[in-house]
A and B are shown apart, each in its own frame.
Chain A
Amino acid sequence: MSTTLQNLVNQPYKHGFVTEIESDVAPKGLSEDTIRLISGKKNEPEWLLQLRLDAYRHWLTMEEPQWPNVKYPKIDFQAISYYSAPKPKKTLNSMDEVDPELLRTFEKLGVPMNERAKLAGVAVDVIFDSVSVATTYKAKLAEVGIIFCSISEAVRDHPELVRKYLGSVVPVGDNYYAALNSAVFTDGSFCFIPKGVKCPMDLSTYFRINTENSGQFERTLIVAEEGASVSYLEGCTAPKFDTNQLHAAVVELIALDNADIKYSTVQNWYAGDANGLGGIYNFVTKRGLCKGVNSRISWTQVETGSAITWKYPSCVLRGDNSVGEFYSVALTNHHQQADTGTKMIHLGKNTRSTIVSKGISAGHSNNSYRGLVRIAPTAAGARNYSQCDSMLIGEQCGANTFPYIQVNNPSAKVEHEASTSKIGEDQLFYFAQRGIGAEEAVSMIINGFCKDVFQQLPMEFAVEATKLLGLKLEGSVG
């Protein structure tokens, strides 16, 4: 690979700063005492503490999954701090009470939290380390009965809803990291759209890990009642540290009859440096349940950050005629590793799912798509279409596709298409011969490659995603 191609992927991470802010950090280590401490700090009800302890006890019996196509040293779960909150910790009533340093941080990150948020028409919940620091637009949403707040507030103000749905899609013992999250989750977003309400604006959560050696374990729960609909956006960044940070989130979505949930993520956690030092370990469980008939859950993700990404946003299509969608762009560079994909579990009749996955590998990175399509015996007339495309930039990277297809109903129709392409010297020469430099050429090729996914993103996110891919690949092409 010539130097031009190399140079195009090596743009420094611009969110790598640390905010100097006093934090309330729990001592490192994990035990029942840690869990009681977290639960106590958050004044949680007894049932939630029990849920956490159940999860923890379950977790102790579990093994870290070995099947992903990623390599990393064993994580010392006792070396992590499970709670970190910006001080002073008091209930914030308005944005004016937020620490100005924090506000500046989000300003720097381009997160609209104030007037700009209103102009953009996006309601934002911001999670800094372990605590939700601000939720904008809350009152306005409440007028139509929408609840949008941090999960801690939801536990306090709407315990019956949280209790009803929390863990109903991802049970506490679902998998190793989900169990860990269930035991120690600190905050996250809660969103409830009541019957018949179409959420009038996009809802957004912005996650930031600030403190070194702290883990982030947020929990998101979104419920759309009968006929409700919502579009939800999630963004993530973290400072640069030489040590690895653990991010193990759980996101649960529930769509009742005729409900529609669209969940979009632009993940830009710190990926580690060019030699693979530092970066976030992103072990996330995201799952949506299409519980009601004609319901629809759509995942769109643009994964560009993290040293390791282990993430399979999934849909359980229980309601008849329900629809699951997964649109993904995963870009890896340097020594990043991604093992990501989806699961579409067809239970109801005439359920349909679409999977469009675009993997881009550059540098020494390794990018795997892993996806399961399961058609249960009950899912008469189910349909799935999967398309998995990989693009390689340079000679040192790898791309893999692991499709798992289990069909137990003869009336089902399942299609899988896959392709691998490469940005090579000949393509770049073609552009160059038309006067177009390597950087612009790569950006054009990549955007063309990702078009089917970017089309699914809300406008502003699509613009951000396009820019982000450009930055990430700067210097990788030559």
Chain B
Amino acid sequence: MIYQDSKTLLSVRDLHASVSGTRILKGMNLTVKSGEVHAIMGPNGSGKSTFAKVLAGHPSYEVSGGEIEFEGRNLLELAAEARARAGVFLGFQYPIEIPGVANSQFLRLAYNTVQAGRGEDELDPLEFDDFVREKMKLLEMNPDFLDRSVNEGFSGGEKKRNEILQMALLEPRLAILDETDSGLDIDALRIVAGGVNQLANKDNAIVLVTHYQRLLNYIVPDYVHVMDAGRIVKTGGKELALELEERGYDWVGAEAKANARVNA
């Protein structure tokens, strides 16, 4: 939701980034204020997931230019774990499996690490157990999730719920959800989206990276951005997503190229 007195959380200016020598982001600009929900859409290979990973500080991606400011801090100076502790959360498109590590153990370590980073109280295993069970209700998760190894043998829907559970625990200021809707059936999509909606408030912000407008029926964005060839080429309201659903992405890319020629 757009609030009058909102503060700027994230400001990305002319960001350029590459992976293994291939330039992916070429002049990305984005401003996100507290309380807002942004959707980033675009065809395969346009740089959406790369943008998400660069924000979170994935070490394989090299930033060659531009700035990322998060709550007044230069995010590019922080390692991935420091960004997480500062309140940047990435919901993974493909959550990693960790055999032999109980989900409860992993969740508690993550929670306590982030809490310690904020100078807040850590929870012992019993306290944490109560706390996490409460959060799990939000996502209609079975408590036996806690005893299973992290993401191991989870269905696609279970993995995504586990991601949103982590978001619920860590209470980030900025949550970037990378294709959270992929692999979800309609019931799981409703539950996951419901969880995200309950977590959204006027102090945080959510950036949804998605291919399809389907998710946006459940989580209604304030802004929809279309990426093409490494940057945002069009921004609109939620109705833009419907238009994209109908017309595809090609026209946006073509329009952007035409504009570029005019400006040149």
Contacts and interface: CB of A to CB of B under 8 A. Distances in A.
Interface of A: 2, 421, 425-427, 429-437, 440, 444-445, 447-452
Contacts of A429: 56, 58-59, 80
Contacts of B27: none
B84 A444 contact: no
A376 to B, nearest CB: 35
Contact of B113 (A425, A436, A448): A436
Interface stretch (B94-102, B131-139, B225-233, B240-248): B94-102
B110 A436 contact: yes
Contacts of A431: 81
Interface stretch (B64-72, B85-93, B180-188, B251-259): B85-93
A433 B88 CA distance: 8
A435 B89 CA distance: 9
A430 B100 contact: no
B: interface residue count bin: 20 to 34
B55 to A, nearest CB: 10
Contacts of A437: 81
A425 to B, nearest CB: 6
Given A432-B79, A432-B80, A432-B81, A425 B60 contact: yes
Classify the interface of chain A: helix, strand, loop or mixed: helix
A427 B99 CA distance: 12
A2 B109 contact: no
Given A429-B58, A430-B92, A430-B96, A436 B109 contact: yes
B101 A447 contact: yes
B149 A448 contact: yes
Given A430-B92, A434-B84, A444 B56 contact: no
Given A2-B59, A429-B59, A429-B80, A434 B100 contact: no
B99 A435 contact: no
Among A421, A435, A445, A449, max chain B CB count under 10 A is at A435
Interface string B188-204: 00000000000000000
B43 interface: no
A433 B80 CA distance: 6
B59 A434 contact: no
Contacts of B81: 431-433, 435-437
Contacts of B101: 444-445, 447-448
B75 interface: no
B157 interface: no
B57 interface: yes
B99 A433 contact: no
B132 to A, nearest CB: 14
Given A427-B96, A449-B99, A433 B84 contact: yes
B170 A434 contact: yes
Contacts of B60: 425
B106 interface: yes
A445 B113 contact: no
* Top 5 closest pairs, chain A to chain B, by CB: A448-B100, A448-B101, A434-B110, A432-B80, A435-B113
A448 B80 CA distance: 23
Nearest to B84: A435
A2 B80 CA distance: 14
Nearest to A427: B96
Among A425, A430, A450, max chain B CB count under 10 A is at A430
Contacts of B56: 429, 433
A347 to B, nearest CB: 34
B234 to A, nearest CB: 29
Contact of B110 (A435, A449, A451, A452): A435
Nearest to B57: A432
A434 B117 contact: no
Contacts of B90: 433
B166 interface: yes
A8 B113 CA distance: 19
Nearest to B56: A433
Contacts of B83: 433
A434 B114 contact: yes
A208 B233 CA distance: 69
15 contacts: A421-B99, A426-B96, A429-B58, A430-B96, A431-B81, A433-B56, A433-B57, A434-B109, A434-B110, A435-B170, A444-B105, A445-B98, A448-B99, A448-B101, A451-B100
B223 to A, nearest CB: 24
A427 B166 contact: no
Nearest to A429: B58
A432 B84 contact: yes
Contacts of A449: 99-100
Contact of B166 (A425, A434, A444): A434
B53 to A, nearest CB: 8
Nearest to B113: A435
Contacts of B96: 426-427, 430
